Structure 1
Amino acid sequence: MVVLIVDGYNIIGDWDELKRLKQKDMSQARDRLIELMAEYQAYSGIRVIIVFDAYYVRGMENKLKQYKVEIIFTKEKETADECIERLVKKLKNVKTQVYVATSDYTEQRVTFGQGALRKSARELAIEINDLEHEITLNVAQHEKAKPKSKIPLTDDVLEKFEKWRRGDI
């Protein structure tokens, strides 16, 4: 199994689209990141966990599942880095490869020392853009291969049916 742990606010602070949303409303930026990661998870089959620290959301540690993506808001005095390190220790084993998506150099070094692999925010953005492009191509191929009608009809008949449908005849 492959698991991707995402340092939520680090990614939000790095991607242009999310930075713009953050300036208007942090919750919109968080929601957009969650949507993007849900699409990534659905297409790639990789389990995604997004960690947000309590800096922007006060309160007790909270775990949610939205779009089948696991979302963790850390405890009030816990940083996302500490939570990510704890998750890496818990999840990393012979059968599970853990990736950590962050551009925080210190966090990359610590998690790498625990056996996780790193993805910078830029690398993750490139991966997501590639997946979106691949999805677009697959949809286009599917649309092209899809028959127009279950019953093969000539263009004349289709045109006549369309006129009937519109009440032109």
Structure 2
Amino acid sequence: MNDILIVDGYNVIGAWMELKSLKTKEFENARDLLIDKMAEYQAVTGWRVIVIFDAYLIPGKETKTHKSKVEVIYTKKSEKADQKIEGLIRKLQNVKTRIHVATSDMAEQWAVFSQGALRKPSRELIEEIKKIDREIGAATTNKQAPARGTKIPMDEATREKLEKMRRGF
């Protein structure tokens, strides 16, 4: 079974306190940080990850980019993220694919659920990402004390004799 996670980008940013406060000062950085976190999520889960951002009030056509293995879609001017998500579900849905949609928008959760996708509240996704961050942090931090002494058990007198031999005494 192939898993795909479609993320309503601005909805998740709005539900994530750190990103929400960053968004008020540095809008693009909040988006970039979400995409970076989703790249870590993708690397750990192996899922295909698609992040959708509204361009509803911004002129222009739809743009698609990739960052790491995350697909990022900015909708066209007249299209909301919800519309794009629902269209993607119809396009990607098949018997070998399980689609998850991350959003806190209850109306959108019901809409995607009625199309056969699984809903994932933003809070749940954020908690999963924080858990992944902790696991990555633990894996990169060496929690063992440096090895001291020998791994061969021996009495103190033997250890002292070997140390003298090693030093040439």
Give the TM-score normalised by structure 1.
Answer: 0.81
Q: Secondary structure at the match of 1:13?
A: helix
Query: How many pairs align?
Result: 146
- 1:73 maps onto 2:74 in alignment: yes
Residue 152 of structure 1: aligned partner: none
Could you tell me how far apart the structure 2 residues matched to 1:130 and 1:27 are? Answer: 24
Could you tell me how far apart the structure 1 residues matched to 2:113 and 2:69 are? Answer: 26
User: What pairs up with 1:79-118 in 2 under 5 angstroms?
Assistant: 79-118=80-119
User: What pairs up with 1:41-80 in 2 under 5 angstroms?
Assistant: 41-55=42-56, 57-80=58-81
Letter in 1 for 2:120: K
Unpaired stretches in structure 2, ≥5 consecutive residues: 148-169
RMSD: 1.9
Contact kept, 8 Å, 1:12 with 1:29, in 2: the verdict is yes
Residue 138 of structure 1: aligned partner: 139
User: What pairs up with 1:8-47 in 2 under 5 angstroms?
Assistant: 8-47=9-48
Q: Secondary structure at the match of 2:141?
A: helix
Q: Deviations over 1:9-47 (max 9, x none)?
A: 101111011111110021111111101101111111111
Q: Could you say if the C-alpha distance between residues 25 and 140 of structure 1 is closer, same or farther in structure 2, counting changes exceeding 3 Å?
A: closer
Residue 164 of structure 1: aligned partner: none
Letter in 2 for 1:112: F
Contact kept, 8 Å, 1:57 with 1:73, in 2: the verdict is no
Q: Secondary structure at the match of 2:15?
A: coil
Runs of 4+ in 1 over 2 A off after TM superposition: 55-58, 136-141, 143-147
Q: Could you say if the C-alpha distance between residues 119 and 82 of structure 1 is closer, same or farther in structure 2, counting changes exceeding 3 Å?
A: same
Q: Percent identity?
A: 53
Letter in 1 for 2:127: I
Deviation of residue 108 (structure 1)?
A: 0.3
Residue 151 of structure 1: aligned partner: none
Could you tell me how far apart the structure 1 residues matched to 2:146 and 2:99 are? Answer: 38
Give the TM-score normalised by structure 2.
Answer: 0.81
Q: Secondary structure at the match of 2:112?
A: helix
Bigger mean CA offset, 24-33 vs 78-87: 24-33
Deviation of residue 137 (structure 1)?
A: 2.5
Question: For the pair shown, which has the larger CA radius of gyration, 1 or 2?
Answer: 2
Residue 157 of structure 1: aligned partner: none
Letter in 2 for 1:20: S
Contact kept, 8 Å, 2:65 with 2:72, in 1: the verdict is yes
